[in-house]
Amino acid sequence: MGGYFSDIFNGSKSLLIGMGITFREFFKPTVTVQYPYQTLKMSARFRGHIELIADEEGNPKCVACGMCQRACPSGCISLDSVSVDIEVDGKVKKKKVLSKYDLDFTKCSLCGQCVENCNFGAIDFSKEYNLASTRKEDFHFNLLKRLEERNA
Partner 1 sequence: MSTPIQLRPDETFILNVGPQHPATHGVLRVKMEMDGEYIVKSETVLGYIHRMHEKMGENRTYAQYLPNLSRLDYLGALGYTHGHVLAIERAAGIEVPERAEYIRAITVELNRVASHLFWFGAFVMDLGGFSPLMYAIQDREHILDMLEAVTGARLTYCYYRFGGLYNDIDDDFIEAAKRFIPRMRKSLKKYAALVTGNIIFQKRLEGIAPVSAEMCRKYGATGPVARGSGINFDVRKNEPYSVYPEFDFDVPVYHECDSMARYKVRMDEMEQSLRIIEQGLEKLPGGPIMAEKKPKNIKLPVGDFYQAVETARGSFGIRIVSDGDKNAYRLKLRSPTYSNMHLFDEACEGMLIMDALAFMGSLDLVIPEMDR
State the minimum distance, in angstroms, from the CB of residue 87 to partner 1.
Answer: 36
Q: Site residues (CB under 8 A) for partner 1?
A: 7, 10-12, 14-15, 17-18, 21-22, 25, 31, 43-47, 71-73, 109-113, 116, 125
Distance CA 92, CA 86 (A): 6
Q: 93: Cβ–Cβ under 8 A, 6 or more apart, which residues?
A: 85, 86, 87
State the minimum distance, in angstroms, from the CB of residue 10 to partner 1.
Answer: 7
Cβ atoms within 10 Å of 127's Cβ, excluding its own = 13
State the minimum distance, in angstroms, from the CB of residue 40 to partner 1.
Answer: 9
Exposure string over 75-98, b if 16+ CB within 10 A, otherwise e: ebbebebeeeeeeeeeeeeeeeeb
Distance CA 22, CA 10 (A): 19
Read off the amino acid at residue 26: F
State the minimum distance, in angstroms, from the CB of residue 112 to partner 1.
Answer: 7
